[in-house]
Structure 1
Amino acid sequence: MGLFDSTTIQQLERGLSGAANEQKAISQNIANADTPGYKERRASFKQSLEEASAEQGLQAHKTNAKHINFSSGNKDSYINEKTQEMYHANGNGVDIDKEMSELAKNQLYFNAVTDRLSGKFGSLKTAVRGGS
Structure 2
Amino acid sequence: MAISLDKLIGFHQKALTVRNDRMEMIAGNLANANTPGYKAKDIDFKTAMQSAQYQRGHSLTTTDDKHIKAKMQSTDAVMYRSPLQPDTGDGNDVDVQVERNEFLDTGMRYQATIQFLNGKIKGMKKAISGGQGG
Q: Which residue of 2 aligns with 1:100?
A: 100
Cα distance in structure 2, aligned partners of 1:92 and 1:131: 57
1:13-92 map, 5 Å: 13-53=13-53, 77-78=74-75, 79-82=78-81, 85=83, 87-92=87-92
Per the normalisation by structure 2, the TM-score is 0.72
TM-aligned CA distance change 1:91 to 1:114, over 3 Å: same
Q: After TM superposition, what 4+ stretches of structure 1 lie above 6 angstroms from structure 2?
A: 54-57
Instruction: List runs of 5+ in structure 2 lacking aligned partners.
Output: 58-71
The number of equivalent residue pairs is 114
TM-score (norm 1): 0.73
Q: CA deviation at 1:80?
A: 2.1
Which 5+ residue runs of structure 1 have no aligned equivalent?
A: 58-74
> How many percent identity over aligned positions?
28
Q: What is the RMSD computed on CA atoms of the aligned residues?
A: 2.5
Higher mean displacement: 31-40 or 85-94: 85-94
Structure with the larger helix share: 2
TM superposition shift of 1:44: 2.0
Distance 2:53 2:25 in 1: 23
